[in-house]
Structure 1
């Protein structure tokens, strides 16, 4: 019996930009403060647990159980590590996403916080490697990009801004 060859790792890079009518210090704090972060960063599903250590070398860990529309259950896991933190300017982190204990994708993320006349321009740039694709992988990048957009909409809401 032969073992199937692993799928080729697919790579992609994307940037999402969001204009926020608050200063960069408040946006940075929304990443740093665990109570504020919980209001806008969540895994789907139930029985969620979160750990947050916002310092270089620290990271974030989240776990949940998700029941899909078809009734199947997935165990979701997110683990990150903060690589570079410059208050009110930049956050660089790496993260991994596991589904049912299988590494699905990993990424390097740079969040740039640029002051503007009206507040902050947030630029989220993600370099992602899809290690275990879903099917043929065509829906993986739109899924990750959409998840980032949902998170950032939640960030705006946590800051008391319209989404």
Structure 2
């Protein structure tokens, strides 16, 4: 049996309810070179104290928990303040779906701002050995559920935040 396209939900007067925003889907990939071995880079994801050095939400940290196992995950929350604006409550919650030691991590996460789910993502992190370190490939498939005031900036913001986080990863791997 073939199904045709779904009909829009209509109210009694025949008008489509446009109060609910559509979900926008975007995908991006970031390739990043690290001078360390894949095992060392993988360890920076798995080892909670090392991960805390590079994975942080902006603002004042309120809570953090990390369980690096399949079906485990990570939760973090913070309060972000900017002069002249109301503080934002940020929350992150993830679940690890696939972990292959030294080579691959697949997980989902939800990002919330002031208790609204802004986006959910599926992330695949692949680690490949290179002669002088590791090639990390980060592929993220995002579903933007609640657009910001500037929806065209949502994907560039997410991609930029990912690059900043990976710069933090590289810094966390340097000897202290």
Return the TM-score normalized by structure 2: 0.87
The answer as to 2:69 corresponding to 1:55 is: yes
> How far does residue 49 in structure 1 lie from its aligned partner after superposition?
1.4
Supply the RMSD in Å over aligned alpha carbons: 1.3
> What is the alpha-carbon distance in structure 2 between the residues aligned to residue 141 and residue 48 of structure 1?
26
Q: Of residues 73, 78, 92 in structure 2, which corresponds to 1:64?
A: 78
Q: Of residues 139, 145, 154 in structure 2, which corresponds to 1:140?
A: 154
> What is the alpha-carbon distance in structure 1 between the residues aligned to residue 75 and residue 61 of structure 2?
14
> What is the alpha-carbon distance in structure 2 between the residues aligned to residue 11 and residue 39 of structure 1?
30
Structure 1 gaps, min length 5: none
Matched length: 159
> How far does residue 72 in structure 1 lie from its aligned partner after superposition?
1.2
> What is the alpha-carbon distance in structure 2 between the residues aligned to residue 50 and residue 137 of structure 1?
28
Q: Please identify the structure whose Cα radius of gyration is greater.
A: 2
> How far does residue 104 in structure 1 lie from its aligned partner after superposition?
0.2
More strand by share: 1
1:1-163 pair list within 5 angstroms: 5-160=19-174
> What is the alpha-carbon distance in structure 2 between the residues aligned to residue 34 and residue 6 of structure 1?
38
Return the TM-score normalized by structure 1: 0.94
Structure 2 gaps, min length 5: 1-16
Highest RCO, 1 vs 2 (Cα 8 Å, sep ≥ 6): 1
> How far does residue 133 in structure 1 lie from its aligned partner after superposition?
0.2
